[in-house]
């Protein structure tokens, strides 16, 4: 991924007068020389190498080597450890530095630029949205922000998880990796997050993954999926006994299998997720439906069921489930956008436009909705309105994997 340009903020820059700052490792946003010059402009004394006299160490993405070595991190020597433990030295990662200098948005600002929705992240990594949702469900990646149920992810979330999976695929023992991460977590907060991701990845008994949505194979090739067992720490609701018809492929003369469930809605949802992972769409759909029977109406379960039915090719049923999700939660903007995409696929472009406009009425900065609405308006030959949404999309998501398409479309207008 190309380094992201750093937007200017209205916040006053932080002065670093009196700070002795060292940069460790390769930075993702600019060259080390440019970063050193910027630090000097903010009053810092820049050290070529970190030592015990430093008051601030900025760690780039490439600095933390998790490969198994006996020497540990070369920049994290005893003098630096002692200074950090005594409070004379602070160690931060690169994004924190840019935030302090007023060069990028803090997590609690209202904007959502340079973050990725589920659909964008799926496109960027060339996996399905179901895979991204699976990672989120298992705690492997965590949204940095949610707006009306719509999750926004920092790319670093996925990069961290991916690097851990690559090391495991290369043969590093989980215990070794855990030990190195635990050591780094004393000084570098980002390592704590990687440690949590490691625990999710190795929770299952196997790292061998399926071909469908892709995982790790025996040869160690990474296919961007992580097959850990579903977490089971939720507190169960009152247990309800129900009969769940499991419609599995069977000879025509055999009756459908009926299994007696004594399960909570949460357990039924977990069962549905497990069936999804195994591409057992009929069983997953039956489990989701029974979860609705046992637990009552749920916008989230209807949304999951809609996505599952879409994957199974039952577009009519998926459309109705998206409608139900929106009826239960009118500001479920991702359900509105997905409904719009489905309606466009069914040829109902006018209705698709209405669905996208409905999503934007609740979340005006929803870049995906602007993108899909622009395409739908182009289909309706409404070039002027389409151009407005193409431009808005590029403003909101300049680093989106769909940005090149938007730029090409606007270039065609400029050429005309």
Query: Tens of pLDDT along 152-188?
Result: 988 777 776 666 666 666 777 777 777 777 777 777 7
The predicted pLDDT at position 226 comes to 43
Domain 241-415 in CATH 1.25.40.10? The answer is yes
More confident residue, 82 or 139: 82
Expressed in percent and rounded to 5, the helix, strand and coil fractions of the chain are 50, 10, 40
pLDDT digits (tens, 9 = 90+) for 53-109: 999 999 875 545 555 443 456 778 888 888 888 889 998 888 788 878 876 544 443
Percent of all residues in the chain with a pLDDT value above 90, rounded to a whole number:
39
Each residue's pLDDT tens digit, 365-404: 999 999 999 999 999 999 999 999 999 999 999 988 899 9
Give span(s): CATH 1.10.1660, the chain.
116-201
Q: Cα(first)–Cα(last) distance of the chain, in Å?
A: 32
* Tens-place pLDDT, residues 6-36: 334 344 456 789 999 999 887 766 788 888 9
CA nearest 298: which of 237, 364, 233, 227?
A: 237
CATH 1.25.40.10 maps onto the chain at 241-415
As a CATH number, domain 20-100 is 3.40.50.10190
Spell 331-361 as b/e; 16+ CB within 10 A means b.
bbbbbbbbbbbbbbeeeebebbbbbbebbbe
- The CATH architecture that domain 116-201 belongs to is Orthogonal Bundle (1.10)
Of the listed ranges 190-204, 212-226, 280-294, 346-360, the one predicted with least confidence? 212-226
For the chain, give the mean pLDDT.
76
Residue 17 burial class via C-beta count within 10 angstroms: exposed 0-12, middle 13-18, buried 19 and up: exposed
Does the pTM surpass 0.75? The reply is no
Task: Map residue 345 onto helix, strand or coil.
Answer: helix
- Residues 328-343: tens digit of each pLDDT: 999 999 999 999 999 9
């Amino acid at each position: 991924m190309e380094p992201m340009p750093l937007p200017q903020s209205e916040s006053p820059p932080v002065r670093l007068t009196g700070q002795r700052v060292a940069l460790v490792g390769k930075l993702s946003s600019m060259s080390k020389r440019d970063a050193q010059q910027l630090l000097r402009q903010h009053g810092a004394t820049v050290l070529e190498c970190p030592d015990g006299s430093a008051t601030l160490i900025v760690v780039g993405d490439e600095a933390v080597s998790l490969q198994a070595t006996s020497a540990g991190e070369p920049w994290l020597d005893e003098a630096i450890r002692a200074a950090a433990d005594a409070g004379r030295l602070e160690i931060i990662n690169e994004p924190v530095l840019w935030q302090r200098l007023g060069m990028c948005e803090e997590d609690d600002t209202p904007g959502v630029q340079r973050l990725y929705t589920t659909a964008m992240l799926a496109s960027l990594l060339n996996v399905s949205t179901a895979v991204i949702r699976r990672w989120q469900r298992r705690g492997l990646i965590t949204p940095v922000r949610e707006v009306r149920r719509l999750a926004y992810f920092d790319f670093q979330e996925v990069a961290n998880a991916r690097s851990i999976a690559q090391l495991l695929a290369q043969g590093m023992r989980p215990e070794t990796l855990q030990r190195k991460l635990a050591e780094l977590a004393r000084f570098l907060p980002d390592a704590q997050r990687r440690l949590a991701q490691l625990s999710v990845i190795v929770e299952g008994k196997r790292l061998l993954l399926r071909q469908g949505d892709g995982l790790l194979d025996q040869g160690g090739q990474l296919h961007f999926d992580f097959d850990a067992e579903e977490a089971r720490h939720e507190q169960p609701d009152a247990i309800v006994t129900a009969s769940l018809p499991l419609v599995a492929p069977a000879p025509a003369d055999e009756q459908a299998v009926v299994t007696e469930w004594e399960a909570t809605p949460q357990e039924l949802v977990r069962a549905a997720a497990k069936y999804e992972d195994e591409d057992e769409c009929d069983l997953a759909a039956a489990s989701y439906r029974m979860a609705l029977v046992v637990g009552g109406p749920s916008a989230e379960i209807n949304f999951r069921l809609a996505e599952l039915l879409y994957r199974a090719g039952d577009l009519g049923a998926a459309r109705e489930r998206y409608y139900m999700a929106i009826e239960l939660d009118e500001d479920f903007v991702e359900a509105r956008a997905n409904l719009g995409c489905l309606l466009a696929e069914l040829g109902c472009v006018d209705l698709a436009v209405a669905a996208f406009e409905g999503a934007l009425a609740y979340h005006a900065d929803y870049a995906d909705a602007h993108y899909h609405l622009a395409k739908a308006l182009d289909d309706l030959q409404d070039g002027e309105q389409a151009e407005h949404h193409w431009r808005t999309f590029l403003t909101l998501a300049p680093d989106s994997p769909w940005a090149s398409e938007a730029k090409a479309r606007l270039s065609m207008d400029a050429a005309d």
